[in-house]
Amino acid sequence: MLQEIRIKSLGVIAESTVEFAPGFNVITGETGAGKTMLLTALSLVLGGKADAQLVRSGADRAAAAASFAPTAQADALLLTMDIEKDDSAIILGRSLNPDGRSKGVLNGAPATGAQLAQVGAHLISIHAQNSNGALRRSTTQRDLLDAYGGETHLSIRDRVGTCYAKTHRAIEELASFESAIKLADVQRSELQELVERVGPLDLKLGEIDSIKSDRDRLSHLDQLRELATEIITSLETLSGERLAQAGRNFDQLQRFDMSTSELSTRFSSLVIELGDIESETRRYLANLDADPTELSRIESRFASISSALKRFSAQDEGELLAQLVSARTALIAHDDSEGTREKLRGLTMEAEKEFFESAAALTASRTAVSQKLSSAVTTEIRELALPNSTFVVDIVSDPTIPFSKAHAFGVDEIEFRFTAHTGGTPLPIVKAASGGELSRLMLAIEVVLATVDPVPTYVFDEVDAGVGGSAAIEVGRRLAMLGRHSQVIVVTHLPQVAAWADHHVLITKESTGVTVSNVAVLDASSRIVEIARMLGGISESENAQAHAQELLALRATLEVPTTLSSKKKAPATPTA
């Protein structure tokens, strides 16, 4: 429920705090006092349009904050937004600058208008002349009908949504496969060429670098032979008598000076190493003439690989091998396409069958629910100064439509129809109901729905438009009945409605050059005075006050239960 709302520099309200109670709350005041400004403040904190003209003249900004009792759904939504919840209150706030820029907060954390609206949807439902347009929308009508069906009915609707999503995925998967097959048909020849041309090459990773090395070697055989021969000749010169004499000299040195033994050993190792180098070089020279056709074979291999790399736009043999694997996989899939196609078609047909079966069950449930809702709302609306009216929920369903024309909520088109005259043909409410009738129709629907799916707080503005006398008393009684299940806040100018309230808020205005509105909660005696004013405009009139007391006494005779008091609430502080 709405616990409190604080307003600062918003329209005619300079600064005010309004506390609300459980049950039926009424807001009254003279024309122009600022009654609807409270609703404007609520709309602002619930993410509504931020109009710069709302900022009070001379103020640097306007601000509003509303404190609500927490609900499980709203708390769960706060967690998904990573906003800390508070066990005592959920506080929505919004500030508005003269340039039209606004800033929202949720429990002290920055929040967007969309986030405020999402959380607010679980806390309050506002109905005004300019907001009842939602009732004209087919989606709203469908949701209201389904809500009246209760948990069992909603579980059927959820099943339809699940089947719809499953069928949609199956159709998309089949379409994606068909597109892939068409693409494969176009590319098949190229894929086949890649497999036939690259496969036989039997490429190895790193082969290109190896081929380049062998090609360089074989392309310079004459130079290699000449260099190897010169090396051998030089080594032969070194290993002649001069090295032998050096060896004998080292032996003589060691006889007279043992410190030269290490040099002698190193020299001996050098002589051996030179001999090995000479032998290896001779073998290298001999192998250069091993296969005179090798160069031709390597050149041919290099040309084949280079051509394949260029043809298929590959950087190296690794990328070309990857393309080969992909092409083979694609061709295998293409060759098995008919089997896969039939499997996907079967899954799609099965999913569609499940969807239409669940949709048929939903249609049957909606038909039963619509009859109950039509009867209940007709009973209610006839008590609201529309004694000859009839409300009908019309369901048009075509189970033979293709899946493409169905939706996640089934195959039904829901339409609320209404007539205010005996024997009149019920027409779509968009054509048949005036603004005032639409407000009362919404009230009747909310009273009926409150028994199965209550919203924590309902707000009504001008729900009593075009109503007076005994009919107004019945409107007030219906609002009090709704207050049994939820908190109800009503802006009214009718004393017959105001007399039913559990909690009365009065808005007055003062004008000393600048109009200022004040807000006060009325006690029992003050209520008599205000209702007397509403009755005849003269609050001091004894007759008017007697009539006011009579209206207040009438409320007690109809035995509308008093709602229990709420726990202590946290203050709502206008956002900075």
pLDDT given at position 129: 58
Contacts of 456 (CB under 8 A, 6+ apart): 1, 68, 69, 71, 122, 123, 124, 486, 487
In this prediction, residues 134-157 reach a mean pLDDT of: 88
pLDDT given at position 436: 66
Please check the confidence at residue 375 and state whether its pLDDT lies above 90. Answer: yes
pLDDT given at position 93: 92
Please check the confidence at residue 151 and state whether its pLDDT lies above 50. Answer: yes
pLDDT given at position 561: 42
| Homologous superfamily in CATH for domain 1-124+455-527+558-576 | P-loop containing nucleotide triphosphate hydrolases (3.40.50.300)
pLDDT given at position 411: 94
pLDDT given at position 366: 96
566 phi and psi angles, rounded to 5 deg = -90, 165
CA-CA distances (angstroms) from residue 23 to 3, 40, 194, 458, 480?
12, 21, 79, 10, 7
CA quadruple 246, 252, 255, 258: dihedral, nearest 10? -30
**Of 573, 547, 524, 409, nearest in space to 473 by CA:** 547
Of residues 385 and 514, the one with the higher pLDDT is: 385
86's tokens:
């508070």
Tell me how far apart the alpha carbons of residues 506 and 498 are, in angstroms, rounded to a whole number.
11
**Of 231, 323, 334, 210, nearest in space to 274 by CA:** 231
Contacts of 550 (CB under 8 A, 6+ apart): none
99 burial type by CB count under 10 A (0-12 exposed, 13-18 middle, 19+ buried): exposed
211 and 302 in contact (C-beta within 8 Å)?
A: yes
127 and 458 in contact (C-beta within 8 Å)?
A: yes
pLDDT given at position 501: 92
In this prediction, residues 532-540 reach a mean pLDDT of: 77
Please check the confidence at residue 574 and state whether its pLDDT lies above 80. Answer: no
What band does 130 get if pLDDT is binned at 50, 70 and 90?
low
**Of 19, 34, 12, nearest in space to 522 by CA:** 19
pLDDT given at position 217: 74
Sign of CA dihedral 131, 132, 136, 141: positive
Please check the confidence at residue 165 and state whether its pLDDT lies above 60. Answer: yes
In this prediction, residues 216-245 reach a mean pLDDT of: 75
Please check the confidence at residue 509 and state whether its pLDDT lies above 70. Answer: yes
Please check the confidence at residue 9 and state whether its pLDDT lies above 70. Answer: yes
Considering only CA atoms, give the Rg of the chain. Answer: 46
Reduce the DSSP state of residue 33 to 3 states and report it: coil
CA quadruple 419, 425, 430, 436: dihedral, nearest 10? -10
What band does 568 get if pLDDT is binned at 50, 70 and 90?
very low
Please check the confidence at residue 201 and state whether its pLDDT lies above 90. Answer: no
CB-facing half-sphere around the CA of 511: CA atoms within 13 A: 4
In this prediction, residues 381-389 reach a mean pLDDT of: 85
Of residues 271 and 464, the one with the higher pLDDT is: 271
Chain segment 282-337, per-residue pLDDT in tens = 887 777 765 667 778 888 888 888 888 888 888 887 888 888 887 777 776 666 66
In this prediction, residues 476-496 reach a mean pLDDT of: 88
Q: In what order do the strands lie in the sheet with 125-127?
A: 125-127, 457-461, 487-491, 24-29, 503-511, 515-521
pTM, rounded to two decimals: 0.61
pLDDT given at position 186: 60
Tell me how far apart the alpha carbons of residues 177 and 168 are, in angstroms, rounded to a whole number.
14
Please check the confidence at residue 61 and state whether its pLDDT lies above 80. Answer: yes
Please check the confidence at residue 477 and state whether its pLDDT lies above 80. Answer: yes
pLDDT given at position 376: 94
Of residues 420 and 177, the one with the higher pLDDT is: 420
Q: Which of 168-172, 358-362, 511-515 has the highest mean pLDDT?
A: 358-362
Chain segment 168-187, per-residue pLDDT in tens = 999 988 887 777 777 666 66
46 phi and psi angles, rounded to 5 deg = -95, 15
pLDDT given at position 131: 54
Of residues 490 and 188, the one with the higher pLDDT is: 490
Please check the confidence at residue 157 and state whether its pLDDT lies above 70. Answer: yes
Sign of CA dihedral 141, 145, 150, 152: negative
The overall average pLDDT reported for the chain is 82
Alpha helices in 312-434 (DSSP H): 317-335, 337-382, 429-432
pLDDT given at position 128: 67
The vertex-185 CA angle with 183 and 186, nearest 5°, equals 65
Alpha helices in 100-240 (DSSP H): 113-120, 138-198, 207-219, 221-238
Lowest average pLDDT, out of 198-202, 243-247, 299-303, 330-334, goes to 330-334
Contacts of 292 (CB under 8 A, 6+ apart): none
Residue-wise DSSP of 230-274: HHHHHHHHHTSHHHHHHHHHHHHHHHH-GGGHHHHHHHHHHHHHH
pLDDT given at position 183: 60
pLDDT given at position 489: 92
Tell me how far apart the alpha carbons of residues 48 and 62 are, in angstroms, rounded to a whole number.
14
192 and 238 in contact (C-beta within 8 Å)?
A: no
Tell me how far apart the alpha carbons of residues 193 and 198 are, in angstroms, rounded to a whole number.
8
Please check the confidence at residue 17 and state whether its pLDDT lies above 80. Answer: yes
pLDDT given at position 179: 74
Of residues 188 and 380, the one with the higher pLDDT is: 380
CB atoms within 10 A of CB 297: 12
pLDDT given at position 567: 40
